[in-house]
């Protein structure tokens, strides 16, 4: 269960993160690969962002309260699980995230076991393969509208 202090801290974190601006890297608008890499400190001599004339810079003031740092929005810490053995070591006060490398067969077993233990799973979706459809050859319509005359049948024989 979430304690009252933790709940309050989560609300504070949500408010802080709501006001937090984006911190684009210098020239991220000009070079696409830079926009994907996130913030890097400006080091140029004449850089406007470094001199605090333009844009926002990251600072500790945008951080979360220490009690909820790294917590999931539900108020639980996340644990990554790879198999049933990992699930046995998990307590009730954490949320379970199944690793991306876990296959469908193992994932089904992990989800079942987690439900039995009453754990919250963050990514319980299981991929279901659709059966492959066999391609049926479509019949091309003939000149007489798909109806074969008796003569055409006799010619084939």
Per-residue pLDDT tens for 32-87? 998 888 899 999 999 999 999 988 899 998 999 999 998 998 889 999 999 999 99
What is d(CA 96, CA 106) in angstroms, rounded to the nearest whole number? 14
Which one, of 123, 87, 122, lies nearest residue 104 by Cα?
123
The answer to whether residue 96 is domain-embedded is yes
- CA angle 108/113/114 to nearest 5° reads 100
The answer to whether residue 42 is domain-embedded is no
The answer to whether residue 28 is domain-embedded is no
pLDDT band at 98 (very low <50, low <70, confident <90, very high): very high
The answer to whether residue 112 is domain-embedded is yes
Sign of the CA dihedral running 143, 149, 155, 157: positive
The answer to whether residue 143 is domain-embedded is no
pLDDT at 95 over 70: yes
Mean pLDDT of the chain: 86
Three-state SS at 75: coil
Structural domain that includes position 120: 76-126
Three-state SS at 55: coil
Domain end call among 28, 47, 68: 68
The answer to whether residue 134 is domain-embedded is no
Q: Provide the number of structural domains found in the chain.
A: 2
Q: Which two tokens stand for residue 39?
A: 């913030």
The answer to whether residue 101 is domain-embedded is yes
Task: Supply the pLDDT for residue 35.
Answer: 86
The answer to whether residue 36 is domain-embedded is no
Q: Which two tokens stand for residue 132?
A: 């492959």
């Amino acid at each position: 269960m979430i304690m009252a202090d933790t709940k309050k801290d989560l609300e504070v974190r949500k408010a802080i993160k709501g006001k937090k601006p984006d911190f684009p890297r210098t020239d991220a608008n000009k070079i696409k690969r830079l926009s994907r890499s996130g913030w890097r400190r400006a080091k140029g001599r004449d850089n406007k962002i470094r001199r605090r004339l333009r844009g926002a810079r990251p600072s500790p003031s945008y951080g979360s309260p220490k009690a909820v740092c790294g917590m999931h929005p539900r108020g639980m810490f996340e644990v990554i699980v790879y198999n049933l053995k990992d699930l046995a070591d998990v307590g009730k006060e954490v949320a379970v995230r199944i690793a991306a490398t876990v296959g469908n067969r193992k994932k089904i077993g992990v989800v079942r076991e987690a439900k039995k233990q009453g754990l919250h799973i963050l990514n319980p979706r299981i991929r279901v393969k659709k059966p492959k459809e066999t391609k049926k050859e479509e019949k091309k319509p003939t000149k007489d509208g798909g109806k074969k005359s008796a003569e055409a049948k006799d010619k084939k024989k």
